[in-house]
Amino acid sequence: MLKLAVLVSGGGTNLQAIIDALEKDAFAAIELVISSSNKAYALQRAKNHNIESKVIRRRDFSDDILFDTAIIDALESKCVDLVVLAGYLPLLSHRVVSAFPDRIINVHPSLIPSFCGHGYYGLKVHEAALARGVKITGATVHFVDEGADTGKIIMQKAVDVMPDDTPETLQRRVMTEAEHIILPLAIKYILN
C-alpha cells in the first residue's frame, strides 16, 4: 500500500478530501501530516482520524539546512512513498526535493501555467484571475521540482468563473469542484 505524508499550513480541506477518499477506497495510507504552523486546523483533522502529525516550522531552526534535515528525517522515518503538498505554503528547498525525486506532488489553485509561481498562493491566485477577467480557472496537481509550480503536470480540472464571483467565492468553488476531486485522483493515478 502506498504510504503518504501530507504537508499542510492551514485549514486542511485538501487533507480532509484525501482522508475521505481513503475511507471510501483504501488505496493508500497517510502515515504522517507535517504542518508549518502549530495553529493549522489541519492538525485537528489529523488528530480526528488518528493520523500522526508533527509541526516543523522554519523559525524553530537556526538555519535552512537544519530545517530541511528535520523535514527529510520526519519523512524518511515513516518510509513514505509519496509526499503530498496540500496547501503547504513554504517552498521546499533543493535538498528536500532531491531527497524525494518525482515523489512530491502539489495541488495549485489555478490552471498552470496561469497564475502560478512566486507570490501566487491562497486568495492571491483568485484575485489575479478575477482582475484578469478569465472566464475559466481551476486547479492543477503537478510534480514538485526546484521551481515554483514548474513541475510536470499530472492532472487539471477547470471551473467556471461567475460574473458575481469574489476571490473568496471563487476560492471555495475551485477547492470543492476541482482541488478536492483531482488531488485524491492524482494520488491514485500515481499508485496505478
Cα dist from 136 to 76, 119, 130, 162, 173, whole Å: 39, 21, 10, 9, 12
> Residue 4 is part of a domain; what is its CATH number?
3.40.50.170
Q: What pLDDT is stored for residue 191 in this prediction?
A: 87
Q: Name the nearest CA neighbour of 186 among 143, 139, 141.
A: 141
Mean pLDDT by 10 residues, the chain (192 residues): 96 98 96 98 98 97 97 98 96 96 97 96 97 98 96 98 98 98 97 85
Residue that terminates a domain, selected from 71, 101, 131: 101
| pLDDT value of position 182 | 98
Strand partners of residue 181: none
Residues 96 and 163 in one domain: no
Return d(Cα 35, Cα 10) in angstroms, integer. 8
Of the three residues 56, 83, 101, the one that is the final residue of a domain is 101
**Are 118 and 133 in a shared domain?**
yes
Last residue in a domain, options 101, 119, 137:
101
Range of the domain at 23: 1-101
Q: Which amino acid is at 121?
A: Y
| pLDDT (0 to 100) of residue 150 | 96
Q: Output the pLDDT for position 115.
A: 98
Q: Based on the fold, state whether residues 114 and 172 are members of the same structural domain.
A: yes
CB atoms within 10 A of CB 95: 14
Whether 108 is a known active-site residue: answer yes
User: Which of 49, 94, 108, 180 does the annotation list as catalytic?
Assistant: 108
pLDDT in the model for residue 4: 98
Same domain, 10 and 87: yes
Neighbour order of strands in the sheet with 153-160: 53-55, 28-35, 2-8, 82-85, 104-108, 136-143, 153-160
Domain count, the chain: 2
Beta strands in 36-172 (DSSP E): 53-55, 82-85, 104-108, 136-143, 153-160
Q: Are residues 149 and 76 in the same domain?
A: no
The residue assigned the cell 478575477 is: 130
Q: What is the pLDDT of residue 192?
A: 83
